[in-house]
């Protein structure tokens, strides 16, 4: 029987239907002449020479049923929602494969310069809905599966998010791959095929974060193509012996050899036949089961090599350095080398197929390092060019420094990656030799330009002195790359004036630039907020394919902010998105959320610099303020529902305490009869792309409240604003540029500015002022937590002491300003008509923040690559 759904819940996450059913609509109705009658779907023609898609409901259902019977070996009368998802995915993949093969053939024939995006994370989200959108087949597929007795919403819910990332770094990489394909740019991604990803997050009854493996690959992944013929050897350990033949060559041998096996994921462009590739590497043993050990009774030894190899791509480790133990660091180092070595081997193989000299390598290859994680690719390419290709050192270094480009994502000193020299010498002996050679040449050049400046030499060296010595990966990425960029105007300025200041003075400002981050409007507006996308399309009187690929067209919405009818439609969509989120929380957590309130959202990785702690302390302040009010005073207060979501690194104790405090505060607030009508608080566990797609469209206000100068850019701020949610934040990262675009009267800023931060930290250290004198309001909140208002106060003392003592992230300095900004938000929200106007204006001015703009900046100003159109199929 076909399941039904309330029309108001379109787009709402639905409970999965696990029962099997018959494909009721497989046999079509007859028309008056006795012929099969098939409803037509949304036939879409791609113009400008692109392949025309003329796929009707009949062909969709035929292909669907074919996969049910042959790929899944199921009967048409015995299929549950998960089986329907598998059949739909395989049917969609058939269309992707045609474009994917055609794209690869075009690149082979035209031999354009290609860019390769190396990222340790790719937070792709669900694929089916995005693939159907980009292929122009959403309505046709929806009609087809409905005719077969299924609901598309139920089918989409069966897909698990690919566990290939943790936070903004991975989501940015996913957006850039989408934009590269949509802009017809020859760009491939390279990453690791993590078996378990980061972790599934659960919250215990006392609010503690619990981690469990995320076995996202337990079921067949229809979106990947195993490339068992694309395999490379990767070596670890052993010894490297210089050849003493007058060259810098060496012979690296012995140690452990591991196989890198390729898995390809198709990346379709929107409204184009271009379908690029994300190649993921899985580690496998070169020699698996040891039969001799097994026969000798050494059962553990028989599988030791296999387990050691497979561990490399088992789990994504968090970026925070607080988790580090010796084994963890060694495995992380092996992950990074395994991935970069396999990727470079693959890139060089493809280049050699062109029949060109290695001197021409930079003319055909650009490699983007997404943060410092892929930096080992620099000494690895040097190793290949010197040891395998027999190039002179200067020639090899010239090729390297014209091939790589480095994006820095942080100015936090503790987040700048370093590797202990003894560990590097143990795991990668040949690369440590090469790094020492690079250090020698580089410091000689620095000494020549700045003679006698020993302090400068120490600051710029790739090796940081200490016990043990450390290899500074950001320095290596900087000197080994052609260009270096930050990801927001403020961040890029800080990179050039702080952590890389010496390198700017040495190499010149021309090497250093900025590319402000962006997001793909396909997923972060059309896919996650389809009603708003339709309203925009109808209002602008433009085809969706036009404005989704030129987001500046949204400025056409500005006059409609004064249109009362349009504002009512806009507000109604926001309300339905709130109801959708409330439905999700009710069905997944069993909690009831009121939807006649302001929705206040902060969702991102839990970290001290992102200051979720400031937010929850502000919620507590609001709670006790409400407790002191009379009933008449409360009646004038805005109702507010506050949402948190995000994961803390497993060993990041302070971050996990922050989650625990949020959960336990929520337990008290939501049950308090004096306040629960005016304030609710929820922590939504296991944050993911799919959860963000429900939270973001529902927000009225979102919080981006990092300490000034600590957030490189942020992209969730862009996603919220694109969906008409206003921004509450510090003058940090991309918040600044968003305010420049949408107007500061449409954002709510607070807090100290970046130039004041270091002085304030100095005062905390050398001239501390008791918190009771400096910020009495915050002192009262901390005292309430400490004395047990939300459970055992002693549990939270380590978190509270980070504020009472050094307060590195300046909560005491910004708290009063933060509370004042929240009051401004409340006052503005009272005027609902003006609030909707602000929402419309915010969306209308978000054109700059499309990842299409960002990727074109990389293509033109960094990689020097051009669009390569894929000819229509069959031409």
What is the bridge-based pairing of β-strands 463-464 and 640-645? unpaired
Q: What angle do CA 231, 367, 872 make, to 5 degrees?
A: 80
> How far is 334 from 209, CA to CA, in rounded Å?
28
> How far is 629 from 631, CA to CA, in rounded Å?
7
C-beta atoms surrounding 283 within 10 Å? 24
3-state secondary structure of 557: helix
Q: What angle do CA 335, 337, 339 make, to 5 degrees?
A: 70
> How far is 231 from 262, CA to CA, in rounded Å?
7
Contacts with 496 (C-beta within 8 Å, 6 or more apart), sequence order: 486, 504, 509, 512
Q: Which has the closest alpha carbon to 658: 764, 784, 777, 802?
A: 802
For residue 568, how far is the Cα from the chain centroid?
A: 33
Angle between helices 393-401 and 429-449 (to 10 degrees): 90
Region at 297 (left for phi over 0; alpha for psi -120 to 50; beta for the rest): left
What tokens does 110 get? Answer: 């035209």
Residue 209's DSSP bridge partners are 203
Structure-token match 């968090």, residue found: 318
Asked if residue 59 has a cis previous peptide bond (ω within 30° of 0), the answer is no
> How far is 688 from 165, CA to CA, in rounded Å?
10
What tokens does 35 get? Answer: 């012929």
Q: Give CA separation, 68 vs 23, 88, 176, 220, 344, in Å.
A: 10, 9, 34, 14, 39
Residue 370's DSSP bridge partners are 407
> How far is 523 from 529, CA to CA, in rounded Å?
9
Q: Give the catalytic positions in this structure.
A: 409, 604-605, 610, 715, 719
Q: Which has the closest alpha carbon to 290: 301, 282, 278, 279?
A: 301
Structure-token match 């919250």, residue found: 203
What is the bridge-based pairing of β-strands 256-268 and 275-285? antiparallel
Backbone phi, psi, residue 790, to 5°: -130, 45
Q: Contact 496/504 with Cβ under 8 angstroms?
A: yes
Q: Give CA separation, 744 vs 734, 741, 850, in Å.
A: 13, 8, 20
> How far is 804 from 708, CA to CA, in rounded Å?
20
Structure-token match 């299924």, residue found: 150
What one-character-per-residue DSSP string does 378-421 give? HHHHHHIIIIIT---HHHHHHHHHTTEEEE-----GGGS-EEEH
Q: Contact 225/101 with Cβ under 8 angstroms?
A: no
Q: Contact 842/77 with Cβ under 8 angstroms?
A: no
Q: Give CA separation, 226 vs 57, 83, 787, in Å.
A: 30, 21, 57
Structure-token match 């978000």, residue found: 846
3-state secondary structure of 536: helix
Q: Which has the closest alpha carbon to 190: 261, 69, 311, 281?
A: 281
């Amino acid at each position: 029987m076909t399941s039904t759904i309330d029309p108001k819940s379109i787009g709402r996450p639905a409970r999965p239907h696990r029962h099997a059913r018959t494909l009721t609509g497989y046999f079509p109705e007859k028309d008056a002449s006795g012929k099969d009658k098939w409803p037509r779907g949304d036939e879409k023609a791609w113009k400008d020479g692109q392949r025309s898609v003329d796929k009707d409901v009949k062909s969709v259902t035929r292909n669907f049923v074919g996969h049910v019977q042959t790929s899944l070996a199921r009967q048409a009368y015995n299929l549950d929602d998960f089986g329907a998802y598998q059949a739909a995915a395989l049917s969609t993949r058939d269309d992707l494969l045609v474009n994917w093969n055609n794209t690869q053939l075009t690149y082979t024939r035209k031999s354009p310069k290609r860019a390769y995006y190396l990222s340790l994370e790719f937070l792709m989200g669900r694929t089916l809905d995005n693939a159907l959108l980009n292929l122009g087949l959403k309505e046709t597929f929806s009609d087809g599966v409905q005719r077969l007795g299924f609901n598309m919403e139920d089918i989409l819910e069966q897909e698990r998010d690919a566990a290939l990332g943790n936070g903004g770094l991975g989501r940015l990489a996913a957006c850039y791959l989408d934009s590269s394909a949509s802009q017809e740019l020859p760009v491939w991604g390279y990453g690791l095929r993590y078996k378990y990803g980061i972790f599934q997050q659960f919250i215990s009854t006392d609010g503690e974060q619990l981690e469990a493996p995320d076995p996202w690959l337990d079921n067949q992944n229809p979106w990947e193509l195993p490339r068992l013929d694309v395999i490379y050897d990767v070596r670890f350990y052993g010894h490297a012996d210089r050849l003493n033949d007058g060259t810098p060559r060496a012979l690296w041998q012995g140690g452990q050899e591991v196989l890198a096996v390729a898995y390809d994921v198709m990346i379709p462009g929107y409204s184009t036949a271009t379908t690029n590739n994300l190649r993921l590497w899985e580690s496998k043993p070169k020699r698996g089961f040891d039969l001799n050990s097994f026969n000798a009774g050494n059962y553990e030894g028989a599988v030791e090599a296999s387990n050691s190899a497979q561990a490399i791509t088992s789990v994504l480790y968090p970026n925070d350095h607080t988790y580090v133990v010796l084994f963890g660091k060694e495995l992380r180092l092996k992950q990074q080398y395994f991935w970069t070595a396999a990727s470079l081997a693959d890139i060089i193989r493809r280049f050699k197929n062109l029949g060109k000299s290695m001197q021409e390598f930079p003319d055909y290859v650009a490699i983007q390092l997404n943060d410092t994680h892929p930096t080992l690719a620099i000494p690895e390419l040097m190793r290949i060019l010197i040891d395998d290709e027999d190039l002179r050192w200067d020639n090899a270094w010239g090729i390297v420094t014209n091939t790589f480009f480095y994006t820095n994502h942080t100015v936090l000193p503790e987040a700048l990656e370093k590797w202990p020299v003894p560990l590097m010498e143990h795991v990668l002996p040949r690369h440590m030799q090469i790094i020492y050679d690079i250090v020698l040449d580089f410091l000689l050049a620095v000494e020549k330009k700045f003679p006698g400046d020993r302090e400068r030499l120490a600051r710029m060296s790739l090796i940081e002195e200490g016990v043990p010595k450390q290899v500074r990966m950001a320095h290596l990425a900087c000197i080994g790359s052609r260009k270096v960029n930050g990801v927001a105007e403020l961040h890029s300025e800080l990179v050039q004036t702080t952590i890389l200041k010496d390198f700017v003075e040495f190499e010149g400002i021309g090497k250093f630039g900025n590319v402000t981050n962006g997001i793909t409007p396909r997923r972060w507006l059309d896919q996650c907020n389809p009603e708003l996308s339709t309203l925009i399309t109808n209002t602008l009187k433009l085809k969706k394919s036009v404005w989704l690929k030129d987001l500046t067209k949204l400025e056409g919405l500005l006059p409609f902010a004064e249109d009362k009818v349009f504002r009512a439609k806009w507000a109604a969509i926001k309300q339905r998105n709130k109801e959708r989120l409330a439905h999700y929380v009710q069905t997944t957590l069993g909690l009831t959320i009121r939807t006649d309130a302001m929705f206040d959202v902060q969702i991102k990785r839990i970290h001290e610099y992102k200051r979720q702690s400031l937010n929850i302390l502000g919620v507590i302040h609001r709670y006790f303020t409400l407790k002191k009010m009379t009933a008449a005073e409360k009646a004038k207060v805005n109702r507010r529902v506050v949402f948190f979501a995000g994961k803390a690194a497993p060993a990041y104790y302070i971050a996990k305490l922050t989650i625990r405090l949020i959960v336990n505060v929520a337990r008290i607030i939501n049950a308090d009869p004096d306040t629960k009508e005016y304030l609710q608080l929820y922590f939504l566990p296991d944050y993911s792309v799919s959860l963000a797609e429900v939270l973001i469209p529902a927000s009225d206000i979102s919080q981006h409240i990092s300490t000034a100068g600590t957030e490189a850019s942020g992209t969730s701020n862009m996603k919220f604003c694109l969906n008409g949610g206003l921004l509450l934040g510090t003058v940090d990262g991309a918040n600044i540029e968003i305010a420049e675009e949408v107007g500061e009267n449409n954002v709510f800023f607070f807090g100290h500015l970046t130039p004041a931060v270091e002085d304030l930290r100095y005062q905390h250290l050398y001239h501390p002022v008791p918190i009771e004198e400096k910020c009495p309001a915050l002192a009262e909140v901390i005292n309430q937590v400490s004395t047990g208002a939300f459970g055992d106060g002693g549990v939270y003392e380590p978190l509270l002491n980070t504020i009472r003592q050094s307060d590195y992230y300046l909560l005491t300095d910004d708290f009063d300003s933060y509370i004042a900004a929240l009051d401004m938000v409340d006052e503005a929200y009272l005027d609902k008509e003006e609030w909707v106007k602000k929402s419309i204006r915010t969306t209308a001015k978000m054109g700059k923040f499309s990842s299409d703009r960002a990727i074109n900046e990389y293509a033109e100003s960094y990689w020097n690559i051009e669009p390569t159109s894929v000819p229509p199929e069959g031409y």
